[in-house]
Amino acid sequence: MTVQEHSKLLLDSTHFSDIRSAVRSRSVAWDALARSAEISGPDAAVAKKLESALIKHTGVQISASECVPSAIHLLETAHNVDVQKAVHNLVAELLSSEEYADTTIEYFSKNPKAVVDLFNASLTGDDQTVLLSGFNIVSLLIQPELRNTDLVSKLLQHPRFNAVLQNLDHMDTSYVCIRLLQEMCSVKEYRRVVWTAQASFVPTLFSVVNRALDSNAANRAVPTNSNNLGIQIQYYSLLTLWLLTFDHEIASELASKYLSDFLNLLKLVKVTIKEKLSRLCIATILNCVSPHVKGHKALIRQLLLLGNALPILQSLSERKYSDDELRQDLATLKELLEQTYQELTSFDEYEAELDSKLLVWSPPHVDNGFWAENVDKFKEQDWKLFKKLVAILASPNNEASAKTTIQVALSDITHVVELLPESVDVLAKLNGKVLIMELLNHPDSKVKYEALKATQAFVAHTFSR
C-alpha cells in the first residue's frame, strides 16, 4: 500500500475527524509540565515543535528520527491523560501528513521495535484515546514493510479495543474500530490471525446486519435505506466478512459457525436498495459456496432448504440493477443453486435441517413414507443421526432450544424408537430418557405433547422386549 493510500485511512469518518479536531484545539502547557517535572524538558521541546509544524503550520521543520522516539517516551512516562491524548494525536498527524508520513513510516521501518514500543504504550484511557492510538497502530501495521501478525493478534485480543468495537450503542466509535478491522483484513497474510479472534468481532458484524432486518422500523438502530452512518457501518461490516471469505478455510468455518446469521445475508439483499450492500452479500455467499471450500455442497443445500434462496434469487433477478457485476453474481449463484436443487432428495433436506439445528415442521418430519424408507440411516455410523437428535434436547443454551426445534426433535425420536426398538438402548446411554421426561414439565403445551408421545414409545418398547 502506498503512502498516499495510507494517508486516506478513515478520512470519511466525520466523528473521527471531530475527535482529532477537538484534541488539536486543546492546548497543553508543555513548559509548565516540564517545570513541574511531569515530563522531561527535551520531550516538552519536541512536543512543542511537533505542534508548531503539524497543527499551527508555522513552517518549523521536524524529523521523524528526533520526534518519534520522544513521542513514544512521553507515552511511556507521562501519566497526564491530556498529554497522552495529545501525543497520540500528534503521532496521528505525522502519519496523516503528506509532508511527513513518508519519512515517519521509513523511520518505523528501520526501527521496527519502535512499533512494538508504540503498541505497548497504546490502547489505554478513554474511547477517544483508544481510537487515536488504534488508528496509529493499524496505519503502521498495514504497511508492507511493517507487517507484524503478533501485534495484530494482540490488538484483536485487547479488551479496550474490543469494548469499543462491540458497543453498537455508540455507533460512531464502533464504526472506527470496524474500519480498522477491515483495513487489517485487506492484508492477506493477516486474515488467519484475525480469524482466530473471530468470537470478539464476528457477532458484532452480523449484529449490524441483523439490526437492519428488524421489522420494527421505529426500533431499527441501523437504517436500511438511508445514506448515513448506518449504511456505512453495514457496508464495512460486510466488506470485512467478504475479505475474510477469500480464505477457503475461513469461508467454511464462517458459514458453519454462524449459519443462521449467514442466511440473513440473502434477506438483507431482499430488503435493501443499496446495490453496494447487495453486491457484498452475494459475493460473500459465492465465496463460501466455491468448490474449493469444505462443506460447500452442504451449505448450498442449507441455502436452498433453510434460506429459501431460489425464490429470493428469482425475485432479485427481476430487479433492474445498474451494477453489471452484481447482476452476473446473482445469475451465477442462481444457476449453481438450481443445479443442486435438481439433485436434492427429501433425505438431503432432512440432513441439512438436522445439521443446522434449526428444525421446522418440513415435509420429511411428518411423512410416514419418509420414515419407513429412511429410518435405517439413523443407525449408520454408530447411530450418528440419532445421536444428533438427542443432542438437540441436551443443548438448552443455544438456538436449538427454540420450542419448534424441540417439538420436531421429539417427534423424530418417537419415529425412530417406534421403527427401531434397539434405539431405546442408545437413548438410555445418552441420558435421552431423562431429558425427554424432564420435558414433560415444559411450559409449552406442544413440547409436552411430543415429550409424552416419545415417553410412551420408549416405555412400550422397554417392557415389550
Which range (213-222, 363-372, 427-436) has the least confidence? Answer: 213-222
Q: Rounded to an integer, what distance in angstroms lies between the CA atom of residue 29 and that of residue 37?
A: 12
Question: Could you give the residue range(s) of every CATH 1.25.40.150 domain in the chain?
Answer: 360-464
pLDDT digits (tens, 9 = 90+) for 53-111: 999 888 899 999 999 999 999 999 998 999 999 999 999 999 999 899 999 999 999 99
**Quick one: CA dihedral 188, 277, 398, 392, positive or negative?**
negative
Question: Could you give the residue range(s) of every CATH 1.25.10.10 domain in the chain?
Answer: 1-174, 197-344
Neighbours of 49 (CB within 10 A): 20
Q: Rounded to an integer, what distance in angstroms lies between the CA atom of residue 138 and that of residue 267?
A: 33
Please report the pLDDT score of residue 463 as a whole number: 55
Q: Which CATH number fits domain 1-174: 1.25.10.10, 2.60.370.10, 2.40.50.220, 1.10.357.10?
A: 1.25.10.10
Q: Which CATH number fits domain 360-464: 2.60.40.420, 1.10.1530.10, 1.25.40.150, 3.40.190.10?
A: 1.25.40.150
pLDDT digits (tens, 9 = 90+) for 232-248: 999 999 999 999 999 99
Please report the pLDDT score of residue 194 as a whole number: 98
Please report the pLDDT score of residue 13 as a whole number: 79
Enter the C-alpha cell of residue 61: 521543520
Q: Rounded to an integer, what distance in angstroms lies between the CA atom of residue 114 and that of residue 199?
A: 30
- pLDDT, mean of residues 21-44: 92
Please report the pLDDT score of residue 89 as a whole number: 95
CATH (residue range 197-344): 1.25.10.10
pLDDT digits (tens, 9 = 90+) for 300-338: 988 988 888 999 999 998 899 999 999 999 999 999 999
Q: What is the pTM of this model?
A: 0.78
Q: Rounded to an integer, what distance in angstroms lies between the CA atom of residue 140 and that of residue 115?
A: 8
- pLDDT, mean of residues 110-134: 95
| CB-count burial class (<10 Å; 0-12, 13-18, 19+) for 149 | middle
Please report the pLDDT score of residue 329 as a whole number: 95
| pLDDT confidence band for 340 (50 / 70 / 90) | confident
Residues in CB range of 174: below 8 A, 6 or more apart: 164, 165, 166, 167, 168, 204, 233
